[in-house]
Structure 1
Amino acid sequence: MKNTSIQNGIILIPDFSGFTEFVFNTKLYTGEYIVRQLLSILIDVNNQYFDISEIEGDAILFYKYDQKPSYQKVSKMLRNMRNAFNMKILELSEMLNTTIELSLKFIVHYGKFTQYNIGSFKKLYGKPIVEAHQMLKNDLAEQPSYALYSHSFLENSQKDEADSNKEPMQVSEVGAIQYFGNIE
Protein backbone atom coordinates (compact mmCIF):
# COMPACT_ATOMS: atom_id res chain seq x y z
CA MET A 1 0.00 0.00 0.00
CA LYS A 2 1.58 3.27 -1.12
CA ASN A 3 0.61 6.60 0.42
CA THR A 4 1.21 9.51 -1.92
CA SER A 5 0.30 12.12 0.70
CA ILE A 6 3.56 11.68 2.64
CA GLN A 7 5.45 14.97 2.45
CA ASN A 8 8.22 16.87 4.18
CA GLY A 9 7.05 19.58 6.49
CA ILE A 10 7.52 21.72 9.56
CA ILE A 11 5.95 20.87 12.89
CA LEU A 12 5.50 23.84 15.24
CA ILE A 13 4.15 23.47 18.76
CA PRO A 14 3.72 26.57 20.92
CA ASP A 15 3.14 25.40 24.50
CA PHE A 16 2.58 27.28 27.77
CA SER A 17 5.11 26.83 30.57
CA GLY A 18 3.49 26.98 34.01
CA PHE A 19 0.13 25.70 32.75
CA THR A 20 -0.51 22.98 35.35
CA GLU A 21 0.09 25.35 38.26
CA PHE A 22 -2.03 27.98 36.51
CA VAL A 23 -4.98 25.58 36.17
CA PHE A 24 -4.78 24.53 39.82
CA ASN A 25 -4.51 28.12 41.09
CA THR A 26 -7.03 29.92 38.87
CA LYS A 27 -10.82 29.90 39.01
CA LEU A 28 -12.32 27.74 36.27
CA TYR A 29 -14.12 30.47 34.31
CA THR A 30 -11.23 32.95 34.62
CA GLY A 31 -8.64 30.34 33.60
CA GLU A 32 -10.68 29.20 30.62
CA TYR A 33 -11.10 32.82 29.48
CA ILE A 34 -7.37 33.55 29.79
CA VAL A 35 -6.30 30.37 27.98
CA ARG A 36 -8.84 30.96 25.19
CA GLN A 37 -7.52 34.52 24.73
CA LEU A 38 -3.88 33.38 24.68
CA LEU A 39 -4.48 30.52 22.23
CA SER A 40 -6.54 32.82 20.01
CA ILE A 41 -3.77 35.42 19.81
CA LEU A 42 -1.29 32.73 18.70
CA ILE A 43 -3.69 31.60 15.99
CA ASP A 44 -4.31 35.20 14.88
CA VAL A 45 -0.59 36.03 14.66
CA ASN A 46 -0.01 32.84 12.66
CA ASN A 47 -2.14 34.50 9.94
CA GLN A 48 -2.72 31.13 8.23
CA TYR A 49 1.00 30.58 7.55
CA PHE A 50 0.77 27.24 9.34
CA ASP A 51 -2.23 24.94 9.27
CA ILE A 52 -3.67 23.75 12.58
CA SER A 53 -3.87 20.04 13.20
CA GLU A 54 -5.20 20.23 16.74
CA ILE A 55 -5.41 22.23 19.93
CA GLU A 56 -4.89 20.34 23.17
CA GLY A 57 -5.09 22.17 26.49
CA ASP A 58 -2.31 24.74 26.35
CA ALA A 59 -0.67 23.71 23.07
CA ILE A 60 -1.37 24.06 19.37
CA LEU A 61 -0.05 21.57 16.83
CA PHE A 62 0.74 23.66 13.75
CA TYR A 63 2.18 22.20 10.56
CA LYS A 64 3.21 23.30 7.10
CA TYR A 65 4.26 21.11 4.22
CA ASP A 66 7.44 22.73 2.93
CA GLN A 67 10.35 21.29 0.93
CA LYS A 68 12.62 24.26 1.77
CA PRO A 69 11.72 25.70 5.16
CA SER A 70 13.02 29.14 6.04
CA TYR A 71 14.69 29.63 9.41
CA GLN A 72 14.21 33.38 9.02
CA LYS A 73 10.44 33.17 8.36
CA VAL A 74 9.83 30.70 11.17
CA SER A 75 11.98 32.64 13.66
CA LYS A 76 10.19 35.88 12.78
CA MET A 77 6.83 34.13 13.27
CA LEU A 78 7.93 32.86 16.69
CA ARG A 79 9.09 36.33 17.79
CA ASN A 80 5.76 37.80 16.66
CA MET A 81 3.82 35.09 18.49
CA ARG A 82 5.88 35.53 21.64
CA ASN A 83 5.50 39.32 21.60
CA ALA A 84 1.74 39.10 21.04
CA PHE A 85 1.44 36.47 23.79
CA ASN A 86 3.36 38.65 26.27
CA MET A 87 1.33 41.74 25.36
CA LYS A 88 -1.92 39.78 25.80
CA ILE A 89 -0.73 38.57 29.23
CA LEU A 90 -0.08 42.18 30.27
CA GLU A 91 -3.48 43.26 28.94
CA LEU A 92 -5.33 40.39 30.67
CA SER A 93 -3.42 40.89 33.93
CA GLU A 94 -4.50 44.54 34.03
CA MET A 95 -8.06 43.85 32.94
CA LEU A 96 -8.59 41.00 35.43
CA ASN A 97 -6.42 42.50 38.17
CA THR A 98 -4.41 39.31 38.53
CA THR A 99 -0.92 37.97 37.93
CA ILE A 100 -0.63 35.48 35.08
CA GLU A 101 2.51 33.40 35.47
CA LEU A 102 2.71 31.75 32.08
CA SER A 103 5.50 31.81 29.52
CA LEU A 104 5.72 30.35 26.04
CA LYS A 105 7.98 27.68 24.62
CA PHE A 106 8.14 26.62 20.99
CA ILE A 107 9.14 23.30 19.48
CA VAL A 108 10.18 23.43 15.80
CA HIS A 109 10.83 20.15 14.01
CA TYR A 110 11.00 18.92 10.42
CA GLY A 111 10.48 15.64 8.63
CA LYS A 112 8.17 13.40 6.60
CA PHE A 113 4.62 12.95 7.78
CA THR A 114 1.14 12.39 6.45
CA GLN A 115 -2.39 13.07 7.53
CA TYR A 116 -5.63 11.16 7.57
CA ASN A 117 -9.25 12.06 8.22
CA ILE A 118 -11.57 10.73 10.89
CA GLY A 119 -14.94 12.38 10.44
CA SER A 120 -14.29 16.12 10.27
CA PHE A 121 -10.91 15.82 12.02
CA LYS A 122 -7.55 15.81 10.23
CA LYS A 123 -4.88 13.93 12.15
CA LEU A 124 -1.15 14.05 11.47
CA TYR A 125 0.84 10.83 11.51
CA GLY A 126 4.54 10.12 11.41
CA LYS A 127 7.74 9.87 13.38
CA PRO A 128 8.33 13.68 13.40
CA ILE A 129 4.98 14.21 15.14
CA VAL A 130 5.96 11.88 17.99
CA GLU A 131 9.48 13.37 18.13
CA ALA A 132 8.11 16.93 18.38
CA HIS A 133 5.92 15.90 21.31
CA GLN A 134 8.91 14.20 22.93
CA MET A 135 10.89 17.44 22.58
CA LEU A 136 8.27 19.14 24.79
CA LYS A 137 9.39 16.84 27.61
CA ASN A 138 12.69 18.48 28.48
CA ASP A 139 14.39 19.95 31.54
CA LEU A 140 14.04 23.53 30.30
CA ALA A 141 10.52 24.17 31.64
CA GLU A 142 11.79 26.58 34.32
CA GLN A 143 13.48 28.72 31.68
CA PRO A 144 11.96 31.91 30.27
CA SER A 145 10.29 31.72 26.87
CA TYR A 146 12.38 29.83 24.37
CA ALA A 147 12.31 28.12 20.98
CA LEU A 148 13.78 24.66 20.58
CA TYR A 149 14.77 23.91 16.98
CA SER A 150 15.52 20.30 16.09
CA HIS A 151 18.66 19.32 14.21
CA SER A 152 16.39 18.14 11.42
CA PHE A 153 14.79 21.59 11.03
CA LEU A 154 18.14 23.41 11.20
CA GLU A 155 19.76 21.08 8.66
CA ASN A 156 16.87 21.44 6.20
CA SER A 157 16.18 25.14 6.61
CA GLN A 158 17.72 27.98 4.72
CA LYS A 159 19.21 30.06 7.51
CA ASP A 160 19.90 33.68 6.70
CA GLU A 161 23.01 34.63 8.66
CA ALA A 162 21.88 38.26 8.89
CA ASP A 163 18.88 37.11 10.95
CA SER A 164 20.93 35.09 13.42
CA ASN A 165 22.04 37.98 15.63
CA LYS A 166 21.58 35.77 18.70
CA GLU A 167 23.44 32.51 18.36
CA PRO A 168 21.37 29.63 19.76
CA MET A 169 22.73 27.35 22.46
CA GLN A 170 23.39 23.86 21.09
CA VAL A 171 21.90 20.89 22.93
CA SER A 172 23.39 17.73 21.45
CA GLU A 173 20.45 15.39 22.03
CA VAL A 174 17.77 17.58 20.46
CA GLY A 175 19.01 20.59 18.52
CA ALA A 176 19.37 24.27 19.28
CA ILE A 177 17.62 26.52 21.74
CA GLN A 178 16.98 30.21 21.18
CA TYR A 179 16.17 32.03 24.40
CA PHE A 180 13.98 35.08 24.08
CA GLY A 181 14.69 38.25 25.97
CA ASN A 182 12.11 40.80 27.03
CA ILE A 183 9.56 42.16 24.59
CA GLU A 184 11.44 43.90 21.80
Structure 2
Amino acid sequence: MENTNINNGIILIPDFSGFTEFVFNTKLYTGEYIVKQLLSILIDINNQYFDISEIEGDAILFYRYDNKPSYKKISGMLRNMRNAFNMKIQELSEMLNTTIELSLKFIVHYGKFSQYNIGSFRKLYGKPIVEAHQMLKNGFAEQPSYALYSHSFLEKSRQLVNIKEKELFEFGEIEYFENMIMKNR
Protein backbone atom coordinates (compact mmCIF):
# COMPACT_ATOMS: atom_id res chain seq x y z
CA MET A 1 0.00 0.00 0.00
CA GLU A 2 1.46 3.35 -1.02
CA ASN A 3 0.44 6.72 0.44
CA THR A 4 1.04 9.58 -1.96
CA ASN A 5 -0.08 12.07 0.68
CA ILE A 6 3.32 12.13 2.46
CA ASN A 7 5.14 15.45 2.49
CA ASN A 8 7.82 17.34 4.38
CA GLY A 9 6.56 20.10 6.56
CA ILE A 10 6.64 22.22 9.68
CA ILE A 11 4.78 21.35 12.86
CA LEU A 12 4.04 24.31 15.14
CA ILE A 13 2.38 23.90 18.51
CA PRO A 14 1.67 26.98 20.62
CA ASP A 15 0.76 25.79 24.12
CA PHE A 16 -0.15 27.65 27.33
CA SER A 17 2.06 27.22 30.39
CA GLY A 18 0.12 27.36 33.65
CA PHE A 19 -3.07 26.02 32.08
CA THR A 20 -3.90 23.31 34.65
CA GLU A 21 -3.69 25.74 37.57
CA PHE A 22 -5.69 28.27 35.55
CA VAL A 23 -8.53 25.78 34.95
CA PHE A 24 -8.66 24.74 38.60
CA ASN A 25 -8.58 28.34 39.89
CA THR A 26 -10.91 30.10 37.43
CA LYS A 27 -14.69 29.99 37.19
CA LEU A 28 -15.87 27.84 34.30
CA TYR A 29 -17.50 30.55 32.19
CA THR A 30 -14.69 33.05 32.80
CA GLY A 31 -12.00 30.49 32.01
CA GLU A 32 -13.74 29.37 28.84
CA TYR A 33 -14.06 32.98 27.69
CA ILE A 34 -10.38 33.75 28.36
CA VAL A 35 -9.10 30.59 26.65
CA LYS A 36 -11.33 31.19 23.63
CA GLN A 37 -10.01 34.75 23.31
CA LEU A 38 -6.37 33.64 23.63
CA LEU A 39 -6.67 30.77 21.14
CA SER A 40 -8.51 33.05 18.71
CA ILE A 41 -5.77 35.66 18.77
CA LEU A 42 -3.16 32.99 17.92
CA ILE A 43 -5.28 31.78 15.02
CA ASP A 44 -5.80 35.36 13.79
CA ILE A 45 -2.07 36.17 13.90
CA ASN A 46 -1.35 32.97 11.96
CA ASN A 47 -3.23 34.65 9.09
CA GLN A 48 -3.78 31.29 7.34
CA TYR A 49 -0.03 30.66 6.89
CA PHE A 50 -0.38 27.36 8.75
CA ASP A 51 -3.30 24.97 8.50
CA ILE A 52 -4.91 23.79 11.73
CA SER A 53 -5.05 20.07 12.40
CA GLU A 54 -6.40 20.17 15.95
CA ILE A 55 -7.22 22.41 18.87
CA GLU A 56 -7.03 20.58 22.16
CA GLY A 57 -7.57 22.45 25.42
CA ASP A 58 -4.83 25.06 25.47
CA ALA A 59 -2.83 23.99 22.40
CA ILE A 60 -3.15 24.30 18.64
CA LEU A 61 -1.54 21.82 16.26
CA PHE A 62 -0.57 23.90 13.24
CA TYR A 63 1.15 22.42 10.20
CA ARG A 64 2.44 23.54 6.84
CA TYR A 65 3.88 21.47 4.05
CA ASP A 66 7.09 23.25 3.12
CA ASN A 67 10.35 22.04 1.55
CA LYS A 68 12.18 25.30 2.34
CA PRO A 69 11.16 26.47 5.82
CA SER A 70 12.24 29.97 6.78
CA TYR A 71 13.59 30.46 10.29
CA LYS A 72 13.18 34.21 9.91
CA LYS A 73 9.52 33.96 8.87
CA ILE A 74 8.63 31.44 11.58
CA SER A 75 10.49 33.29 14.35
CA GLY A 76 8.80 36.54 13.29
CA MET A 77 5.39 34.85 13.44
CA LEU A 78 6.15 33.44 16.90
CA ARG A 79 7.22 36.87 18.10
CA ASN A 80 3.96 38.36 16.77
CA MET A 81 1.91 35.59 18.37
CA ARG A 82 3.65 36.04 21.71
CA ASN A 83 3.18 39.82 21.66
CA ALA A 84 -0.51 39.54 20.71
CA PHE A 85 -1.03 36.86 23.38
CA ASN A 86 0.56 39.05 26.07
CA MET A 87 -1.45 42.10 24.98
CA LYS A 88 -4.68 40.05 25.05
CA ILE A 89 -3.85 38.77 28.56
CA GLN A 90 -3.31 42.35 29.73
CA GLU A 91 -6.57 43.48 28.08
CA LEU A 92 -8.57 40.59 29.56
CA SER A 93 -7.00 41.05 33.00
CA GLU A 94 -8.09 44.69 33.06
CA MET A 95 -11.52 44.00 31.59
CA LEU A 96 -12.29 41.12 33.98
CA ASN A 97 -10.41 42.61 36.94
CA THR A 98 -8.40 39.44 37.45
CA THR A 99 -4.83 38.18 37.19
CA ILE A 100 -4.23 35.70 34.38
CA GLU A 101 -1.06 33.74 35.01
CA LEU A 102 -0.51 32.08 31.65
CA SER A 103 2.50 32.19 29.37
CA LEU A 104 3.09 30.76 25.94
CA LYS A 105 5.52 28.14 24.73
CA PHE A 106 6.09 27.14 21.13
CA ILE A 107 7.26 23.85 19.68
CA VAL A 108 8.67 24.04 16.14
CA HIS A 109 9.56 20.77 14.41
CA TYR A 110 10.17 19.57 10.85
CA GLY A 111 9.80 16.24 9.12
CA LYS A 112 7.84 13.96 6.85
CA PHE A 113 4.21 13.27 7.75
CA SER A 114 0.91 12.39 6.12
CA GLN A 115 -2.69 13.38 6.48
CA TYR A 116 -5.91 11.38 6.45
CA ASN A 117 -9.59 12.13 6.91
CA ILE A 118 -12.09 10.59 9.31
CA GLY A 119 -15.48 12.11 8.62
CA SER A 120 -15.00 15.86 8.70
CA PHE A 121 -11.77 15.60 10.72
CA ARG A 122 -8.33 15.91 9.13
CA LYS A 123 -5.67 14.04 11.11
CA LEU A 124 -1.89 14.13 10.79
CA TYR A 125 0.19 11.00 11.06
CA GLY A 126 3.90 10.41 11.38
CA LYS A 127 6.92 10.34 13.61
CA PRO A 128 7.33 14.18 13.62
CA ILE A 129 3.82 14.57 15.06
CA VAL A 130 4.63 12.28 18.00
CA GLU A 131 8.04 13.93 18.47
CA ALA A 132 6.52 17.42 18.55
CA HIS A 133 4.12 16.32 21.29
CA GLN A 134 7.01 14.75 23.21
CA MET A 135 8.85 18.07 23.02
CA LEU A 136 5.97 19.68 24.93
CA LYS A 137 6.92 17.56 27.93
CA ASN A 138 10.08 19.30 29.08
CA GLY A 139 11.48 20.92 32.20
CA PHE A 140 10.86 24.49 31.08
CA ALA A 141 7.18 24.71 32.05
CA GLU A 142 7.85 27.34 34.71
CA GLN A 143 9.75 29.57 32.28
CA PRO A 144 8.22 32.64 30.72
CA SER A 145 7.36 32.37 27.03
CA TYR A 146 9.88 30.43 24.97
CA ALA A 147 10.31 28.68 21.63
CA LEU A 148 11.70 25.17 21.39
CA TYR A 149 13.11 24.43 17.93
CA SER A 150 13.94 20.88 16.92
CA HIS A 151 17.28 20.08 15.39
CA SER A 152 15.52 18.92 12.20
CA PHE A 153 13.83 22.33 11.77
CA LEU A 154 17.06 24.22 12.44
CA GLU A 155 19.05 22.01 10.09
CA LYS A 156 16.50 22.38 7.28
CA SER A 157 16.23 26.16 7.69
CA ARG A 158 19.88 26.80 8.69
CA GLN A 159 21.12 27.64 5.19
CA LEU A 160 18.71 30.59 5.20
CA VAL A 161 19.56 31.84 8.71
CA ASN A 162 22.04 34.58 9.49
CA ILE A 163 23.50 33.61 12.87
CA LYS A 164 23.44 37.21 14.16
CA GLU A 165 19.70 37.45 13.44
CA LYS A 166 19.18 34.13 15.15
CA GLU A 167 20.95 35.26 18.31
CA LEU A 168 18.71 38.34 18.51
CA PHE A 169 15.57 36.26 19.00
CA GLU A 170 14.05 37.91 22.07
CA PHE A 171 12.62 35.06 24.04
CA GLY A 172 14.16 31.80 25.12
CA GLU A 173 15.31 29.86 22.11
CA ILE A 174 16.20 26.28 22.85
CA GLU A 175 17.63 23.84 20.36
CA TYR A 176 16.30 20.36 20.92
CA PHE A 177 18.39 17.33 19.93
CA GLU A 178 17.10 13.76 20.15
CA ASN A 179 15.08 14.21 23.35
CA MET A 180 17.87 16.13 25.09
CA ILE A 181 18.11 19.86 25.56
CA MET A 182 21.55 20.99 24.44
CA LYS A 183 21.46 24.78 24.38
CA ASN A 184 19.49 27.49 26.09
CA ARG A 185 20.07 31.01 24.83
Q: TM-score range by the shorter chain?
A: over 0.9
Q: Per-residue CA shift, 1:10-62, capped at 9, x if unaligned?
A: 00000000000000000000000000000000000000010000100000000
Q: Which amino acid aligns with 1:140?
A: F
Report the counterpart of residue 136 of structure 1 in structure 2: 136
Q: Distance in 1 between matches of 2:184 and 2:99?
A: 26
Pairing partner for 2:163 from 147, 161, 164: 161
Task: Decide whether the 8 Å contact of 1:116 with 1:122 is kept in 2.
Answer: yes
Structure 1 gaps of 5+ residues are: 180-184
CA RMSD of aligned residues (A): 1.7
Question: Aligned residue pairs: how many?
Answer: 179
Report the counterpart of residue 64 of structure 1 in structure 2: 64
Shift of 1:166: 2.8
Cα distance change of structure 1 residues 39 and 70 upon mapping to structure 2, 3 Å threshold: same
Q: TM-score, normalised by structure 1?
A: 0.92
Structure 1 residues 4-43: aligned runs within 5 Å = 4-43=4-43
Structure 1 residues 18-167: aligned runs within 5 Å = 18-157=18-157, 158-166=160-168
Task: Decide whether the 8 Å contact of 1:149 with 1:175 is kept in 2.
Answer: no
3-state SS, counterpart of residue 164 of structure 1: helix
Task: Decide whether the 8 Å contact of 1:151 with 1:176 is kept in 2.
Answer: no
Task: Decide whether the 8 Å contact of 1:114 with 1:126 is kept in 2.
Answer: yes
Cα distance change of structure 1 residues 171 and 115 upon mapping to structure 2, 3 Å threshold: closer
